[in-house]
Amino acid sequence: MSNQKLITGETIKFQKTQEAEWIDLLRYPLATEKASNPFLKNYYTFVVDPKADKETIKAAFEYVFSVKVISVNTLMMPKKSRRRRQFEGYLPVYKKAILKLAPEYNLDFFGMEKTSLGI
């Protein structure tokens, strides 16, 4: 009996850590003019963890927002040089994911009060 309770407790603990990793995987939505184009219906752009693959991003997005994702496109943004007076530096490299939702699903970030991402 105690072994079964221990194993069940371990699986619950593992599941919670997996959920936390999925939530941390999606960093924040990208709110640019190009990413929020009104002609791109049901496309959402997020900055994600650079080590994440497409299947993990899809599973995390479906878990956090309770929607059905049709496709995931990812790209690594190149570093860009920036100057401040005489000092020159670079903006960091980040990974961007463009997610297409099923037609019956819709997300309204600005209409939501608060999500699990804290938006």
Q: Where are the domains of the chain?
A: 2-101
| Predicted confidence (pLDDT) at residue 7 exceeds the cutoff of 60 | no
The CA distance from 86 to 50, in Å, is: 31
Cα distance from N-terminal residue to C-terminal residue, the chain: 43
What value, to the nearest 5°, has the Cα angle with vertex 30 and ends 25 and 31?
150
**Residue with more model confidence, 92 or 23:** 92
Give the mean model confidence (pLDDT) for residues 15-29.
78
Give the mean model confidence (pLDDT) for residues 37-64.
88
Into which CATH architecture does domain 2-101 fall? 2-Layer Sandwich (3.30)
pLDDT at position 13 is 52
pLDDT at position 75 is 94
